Amino acid sequence: MPRYTTNAIRNISLVGQSGCGKTTLVEALLHAAGAISTPGSVRRGNTACDFDPIEKQYQHSLSSSVVSLDHANIHVNLVDTPGMADFIGQAIASFPAVETVTIVIDAQKGIEPVTRRMLEWAAARKLCRMIVINRIDAEGIDLPALVDDIRQEFGAECLPINLPADNCARVVDCFYEPDGDADFSSVAEAHGNILDQVVEMDEKIMELYLEQGQELSAEQLHAPFEQALREGHLVPICFTSANTLAGVSELLMLCEKLMPSPMEGNPRPFLKGEDNVAVNFSAEPDPTKHVVAHVFKVMADPFIGKLGIFRIHQGTVTRDSQLFIGDGRKPFKVSHLFKLQGKKQVEVDTGIPGDICAVAKIDELHFDAVLHDSHEDDYLHLKPLPFPVAVFGLAIDAGSRGDEQRLTSSLERLVDEDPCLTLDHDVQQNELVLRGLGDLHLRIAMEQMERRFNVKAVTRPPRIPYRETIAAEAEGQYRHKKQSGGAGQFGEVSLKIAPLPRGAGFHFKDEVKGGTIPGPFIPAVEKGVKQAMERGAVAGYPMQDIEVTLFDGKYHTVDSKEIAFVAAGKHAFLEAVTKARPQVLEPMVSLELVIPSGAMGGVSGDLTSRRGQLHGTQTLPSGDLSIKAQAPLAELNDYAGKLKSLTGGHGSYALEFSHYQAAPDSLQDELASQWKPHVGED
Ligand SMILES: Nc1nc2c(ncn2[C@@H]2O[C@H](COP(=O)(O)OP(=O)(O)O)[C@@H](O)[C@H]2O)c(=O)[nH]1
Ligand SMILES: [Mg+2]
């Protein structure tokens, strides 16, 4: 058994824009807890969390990593996450594993795009939040202005719980022992503000405090404080320098005394059952109950095999545990259970509820899997996390002949590790397409593949995933009749088609009256329609957002067969489509750019020439501009290189799928003229 209990565990994910100091702060915390004698440095490549050679080369975290520390009877699991927009999926993926999300902000740069997204996502997921303003040792910073910015943008519930003092050489506590002077603001006032916020959670305590003016002890305030964190009624702000270590031991103290234990955080949104029959399930951190654990990260390594990192939500995992993966029938035996310290695995014999552990060499493990030890929990899963949708693609071929199989399997392993990477096999084009959130995301995936799996690939821009739809209603009718020799085929179909709102997909309605088409043949008509939709009618792309109503037809008692109605459905649909103003839809993406302000003219001109639209510009405290824009995916193939040259290498961007919209006429014509429909099919 570990030396700590569930009550003593604190699970904390550090998130925030790349470069704000998360990885260095983890080093500082490990040092403050006595786990390492000197903090490592990102530049020297000796930190616990950035252990991957590619991370060392880029000097940026590219995937999340877990370390833990023991301090004053508590056991803290820290998840360090990447902050570059392209790798944000890793940060979101860690949310189900923790009670607290700590959003780190660079004191010099202030609120950045990733800061904003993380604060919102963590709130949406009902996680307790804390803000750490790091790098308070830096030159030319304006901390009072930054605190104002934060409170204005994210609400008055963001309140300093300590304040910098002695010119940022240390911090003073504003909650437990509010004593002394701060560099700005007042310790007493900060103390009062926090207390006001906390007592609102409990009427009795509020009365004691406000009406009777009683001094409240830390013990009295603990429960309402936790409740305020859980309800997002309080988001404490604290200050650190991972460089001078100012505020670091105070941060550790806050983790110990105030951050929720697994018993105190909000319950995770587990669901039991499938789709619309699923009911809420709440896992209880009870060591004697069935095991329920959730895999929030997998890592494939050619030497150690697959490592699955999971958070135990209920029950106790031991070496002898036999765990099922989701609804799988065959359990695996844990055999070796680990705690992680960056790349190091430390074998342990027991994992208690609330803890974060790992198992190795279990190939069937996948991201988001639920591990459990009872068939009662077969259909347990977490409410899906909304991840940004990967749209930026690269078509990939094996670098040398005979490598195709190895290429596919190593790509599959990479996709397994990153919820924002997907692999599509475009059958029509016989093209393997890797999709991610941006150019850097895919470039690094390619580097990983080469280094880890020794597979080289050749890449090129992929075919754009256009779609087709209709813009008007129409009717179509078709009689399929074959009577050459033997048994004949007969089926006749009349149907109506109508456009549906964007994203609605496909609806099929059966309004046949009087049995003009017998019930058993109706699915055949639907099958024919679907076949036609998959092949497209204008330029060979799948069709969507169409409602098909089958309203009449004819059949023949002897010659009517399924195959006849499939054919009739297909042709009746295609006939209707030609009269329903068919059109090609193109994928539109949202872009979020950060560029030096001097590059604005060039960047916006270039975006306009790519049929892009600017939706908003904001000046960041660093002086850089954050731009929100929308553009057709088809125009962005060479965007990474172009942005680099327009911004002198200082611009960055992230893409996310937004919606489909009708392509301009010239593009419609061009795509239609390139299409060679299959002729001569039934
Ligand atoms: N001056 C100063 N530099 C810091 C501080 N924290 C981190 N850094 C430096 O900022 C750079 C980025 O830090 P890193 O930990 O990789 O940031 P991450 O991307 O958030 O993980 C590194 O060169 C660190 O040494 C700090 O508190 N003060
Ligand atoms: Mg980092």
What is the overall mean pLDDT for the chain? 91
Task: Supply the DSSP symbol for 18.
Answer: T
Instruction: Name the CATH topology of 584-667.
Output: Alpha-Beta Plaits (3.30.70)
pLDDT digits (tens, 9 = 90+) for 403-441: 888 899 899 988 988 999 999 887 666 789 999 988 889
- Residue pair 568/479 in contact by the 8 Å Cβ criterion: yes
Closest ligand 1 atom to 26 CA: 15
Cα(320)–Cα(333) distance, integer angstroms = 6
Task: Return the number of other C-beta atoms located less than 10 Å from residue 567's C-beta.
Answer: 24
Neighbours of ion ligand 2 (CB under 5 A): 22-23, 61
Query: Is the Cβ–Cβ distance between 476 and 573 less than 8 Å?
Result: yes
Please state the pTM of the whole predicted model: 0.81
Q: Is the C-beta atom of 20 inside 6 A of ligand 1?
A: yes
Domain ranges in the chain are 6-172+234-257, 270-382, 392-463, 468-580, 584-667
Least Cα distance to 651 among 622, 626, 681 occurs for 626
**Closest to 30 (Cα-Cα) out of 82, 81, 67, 73:** 67
On the question of pLDDT at 681 being above 60, the answer is no
Tell me the two tokens of residue 523: 């699915």
Architecture of domain 392-463: 2-Layer Sandwich (3.30)
**Most ligand 1 atoms within 8 A of CB, residue of 15, 24, 115, 168 to mutate:** 24
**Predicted confidence (pLDDT) per residue in 365-379, tens digit:** 999 999 999 888 888
What digits encode the pLDDT tens for the residues 444-497?
Answer: 999 989 888 888 899 988 888 899 999 999 999 999 988 776 678 889 999 999
Tell me which ligand sits closest to the C-alpha of residue 65. Answer: 2
Residue 491: name the closest of 554, 572, 557, 549 by CA: 554
CA of 18 to the centre of ligand 1 (A): 9
Tell me the DSSP string of 97-148. Answer: G-SEEEEEEETTT-S-HHHHHHHHHHHHTT-EEEEEEE-TTSSS--HHHHHH
Which of 13, 30, 42 to mutate for ligand 1's pocket (most ligand atoms within 8 Å of CB)?
A: 42
Secondary structure (3-state) at 545: coil
DSSP string, 19-36: TSSHHHHHHHHHHHTTSS
Please give the pLDDT value at position 485: 66
Domain 270-382 is in which class? mainly beta
**Residue 364 has which token pair?**
């069937």
Mean pLDDT of the region 642-659: 84
Q: Does residue 137 line the site of ligand 1, with CB under 6 A?
A: yes
CATH class of the domain defined by 468-580: alpha beta
The bound ligand whose nearest atom lies closest to the alpha carbon of 17 is 1
Phi and psi at residue 601, to the nearest 5°: -60, -50
pLDDT of amino acid 261 = 96
Pocket lining: 138 vs ligand 1, CB cutoff 6 Å: yes
What is the distance between the alpha carbons of residues 92 and 432, in angstroms, rounded to a whole number?
A: 27
Over range 76-89, report the average pLDDT. Answer: 92
C-beta 83 within 6 A of ligand 1: yes
How much distance in Å is there from the Cα of 241 to the middle of ligand 2? 15
Position 60 scores a pLDDT of 87
What sign has the CA pseudo-torsion 548, 552, 554, 559?
positive
Q: Write the pLDDT tens digit of every residue in 233-255.
A: 999 999 999 999 999 999 999 99
Phi and psi torsions of 674, nearest 5°: -80, -10
DSSP states of 569-622 as a string?
A: HHHHHHHHHHTS-EEEEEEEEEEEEEE-GGGHHHHHHHHHHTT-EEEEEEE-TT
Residue 407 main-chain phi, psi, to 5 deg: -60, -50
C-beta 23 within 6 A of ligand 1: yes
CA of 21 to the centre of ligand 1 (A): 4
Predicted local distance difference test score (pLDDT) of residue 679: 53
| pLDDT one-digit tens code per residue, 273-301 | 887 788 999 999 999 999 999 999 998 77
Residue 241 CB–ligand 1 contact under 6 Å: yes
Lowest mean pLDDT among 47-56, 335-344, 501-510: 47-56
CATH among 3.40.50.11140, 3.30.70.2740, 3.10.105.10, 3.40.50.300 for 6-172+234-257: 3.40.50.300
Q: How many residues does the chain have?
A: 682
In this structure, of 110-114, 187-191, 537-541, 630-634, the range with the lowest mean pLDDT score is 110-114
Counting from 1 in the atom list of ligand 1, the atom nearest the Cα of 104 is 20
Residue 119 CA to ligand 1 center (angstroms) comes to 20
Calculate how far, in angstroms, residue 50's C-alpha sits from the geometric centre of ligand 1. Answer: 12
**How remote is the C-alpha of 339 from its chain's centroid?**
24
What percentage of the chain reaches a pLDDT higher than 90?
62
Return the SS3 of 449.
helix
41 touches ligand 1 (CB under 6 Å): yes
Query: What residue type is assigned to position 164 of the chain?
Result: P
Residue type present at position 295: V
Q: Are 468-580 and 584-667 equal in CATH topology?
A: no
Residue 680 confidence (pLDDT): 47
**Dihedral (CA of 268, 656, 104, 18) sign:** positive
- Ligand 1 touching residue 247 (CB < 6 A): no
